[in-house]
Each structure stands twice: as C-alpha cells, then as structure tokens.
C-alpha cells in the first residue's frame, strides 16, 4: 500500500563524530602509558608496604598481563613449596591480614578518575 510519503534522513554532526573517533584512537597510546605507570606505582607501593621477614614475598611482587588487563602478583613460595602470599595478605586465625596489594591499588586508584577526566579533556581540546 502506498501512503505517498517520502522519508529522508540527514546525519548531522558526522564530521564531529568522525573527529571524535580519531581523537579516541589517538589518546589510546597516552592512556596505555598512564595505566602502565599507575600499575607500576601500585607495584612499588605494594613492595614498600609488604611485610618483610626474609624479603622473598616482597621480591616476588610483579606485574603480569597487557594493557588494559594488568594484575599485580605476589607468588612467593615457602620452604615447604607452598604459596603463602594469600595468607599474609588476607590473614589467618592466628595472624591479622596485611593487605599490601589491596592497599596499593586503593591508594593509586583514588586519583585515577580525576586524572583520566583531566587527560581526556586535555586531548579533546587539541
């Protein structure tokens, strides 16, 4: 059935959208650099605040993964061949928790939203 109506669609702001998409692609490299820097800060903070007896736990703390999926790992093994970082971090019935990794993440992440917002505004102005 013909209703005698024509439909036209006009895409408004396509150039702005295209420019925005290019900006998003351009800022990925600086964001990747910033995220890696933040994760390195977390690693350093965790090592500084890690309880030390022999130093093996502190020395086992490292970064794994690739942007944007970084993780901080502590994988020390005791003389019995068992991983013990979790027990130090989370505590046991006889030992209080010492969450050196969690505290590192919380400390560094506190400023992350504000810094990302500023960086995004900075790149969008260019």
* Whole-structure pTM value: 0.71
**Residue scoring higher pLDDT (119 or 78):** 78
pLDDT band at 124 (very low <50, low <70, confident <90, very high): low
91 in Cβ contact with 97 (< 8 Å): yes
Instruction: Report the run of H or E that residue 18 belongs to, with start and end.
Output: helix 14-49
Q: For the residues 90-117, what does the mean pLDDT come to?
A: 90
Compute CA 73 distance to the chain's CA centroid, rounded to the nearest angstrom.
14
CA 38 – CA 67 distance, rounded (Å): 12
DSSP one-letter string for 72-103: EEE--B-TTS-B-HHHHHH--SSS----HHHH
For the chain, the domains span 29-125
**Residue scoring higher pLDDT (8 or 115):** 115
């Amino acid at each position: 059935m013909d209703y005698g109506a024509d439909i036209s669609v006009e895409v408004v702001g396509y150039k702005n959208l295209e420019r925005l998409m290019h900006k998003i692609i351009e800022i990925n490299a600086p964001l990747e650099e910033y995220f890696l820097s933040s994760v390195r800060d977390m690693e350093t903070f965790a090592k500084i605040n890690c309880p030390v007896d022999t130093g093996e736990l502190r020395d086992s703390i490292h970064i794994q993964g690739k942007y944007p999926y970084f993780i901080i790992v502590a994988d020390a093994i005791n003389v019995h061949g068992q991983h013990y970082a979790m027990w130090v971090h989370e505590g046991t019935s006889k030992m209080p928790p010492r969450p050196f990794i969690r505290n590192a993440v919380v400390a560094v992440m506190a400023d992350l939203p504000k810094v990302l917002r500023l960086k995004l505004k900075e790149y969008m102005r260019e």
